[in-house]
Amino acid sequence: MFYTQIHIFNSALLVFQENKKMKNILKNRLALSTVVTTLIILVVSVLLAGVVTYFAINVTSTRVQEENLSLSKTHIWVAMDGTAVGATMVTNTGGRDVVLSKIAARGQDVDAANIFYVVATTGDTLTTDLNWTGTAAITASDYAGGINSTTLSALSTDTLILTSGSTMAIYINSPDSITVNDIGLTVAITVFTSQAIHYQESNVEAVV
């Protein structure tokens, strides 16, 4: 009888210990599952943040590479007889070709009949400043600064297209009715494209 009770006690003790072990295993699995879930959430969050950041940088970089025009050597000249001429050099440093849809002087659109242009080619000296003698309005037979490979062309109904890496000199007759009274004032020449607006300011200069 005594031994039977001991045996029952030992069996109950073993069952208790086994149940305790099972509870510990389940508890450890539950704890492990919580840790793994937390790690998965953190990893997914970091990956999503990385994807969003990459996408934003990629979109920004792509747009920046799409179009980048640089205006330089901008001038507005006025002769004593009231003849006025404007000029600017446009360089396409972006990653794609650009259409110059409109040109304005002091905020006023320039008529196509008053626009003359020339695209620089190999051998032209782009460091030479644009100039105007002041003797007469610009014509299609004039040269532009250091671009001596060819003369200016009248815009007329042409479309101004500037390929990537190219430089173009643009001359304007009668920009916004500039007169001798505007000498010394700051005037901006603005170039419009489908993506952006580019401009550079210059003081009106007297040609004597």
In CATH, what number is assigned to the domain containing residue 192? 2.60.40.1890
Whether residues 50 and 139 share a domain: the answer is no
Pick the last residue of a domain from 36, 66, 96: 66
Pick the last residue of a domain from 19, 41, 66: 66
For residue 113, give every residue at least 6 positions away whose Cβ sits within 8 Å of its Cβ, in sequence order, or none.
154, 155, 156
The first and second tokens of residue 77, run together, are 């000249």
pLDDT in tens, 73-127: 999 999 999 999 999 999 999 888 999 999 999 999 999 999 999 999 988 888 8
Give alpha helix (H) positions in the chain: 2-66
pLDDT in tens, 2-57: 444 444 444 554 545 555 565 565 555 555 566 667 777 777 778 888 777 776 66
Give the number of domains in the chain. Answer: 2
State the chain's mean pLDDT as an integer. 82
Print the domain residue range for 47.
1-66
Whether residues 101 and 179 share a domain: the answer is yes
Whether residues 100 and 186 share a domain: the answer is yes
Q: Name the pTM for this structure.
A: 0.68
Burial 129-153 (b: 16+ CB within 10 A, else e): ebebebeeebeeebebbbbeeeebe
CA-based torsion, 193, 196, 200, 204: positive or negative: positive
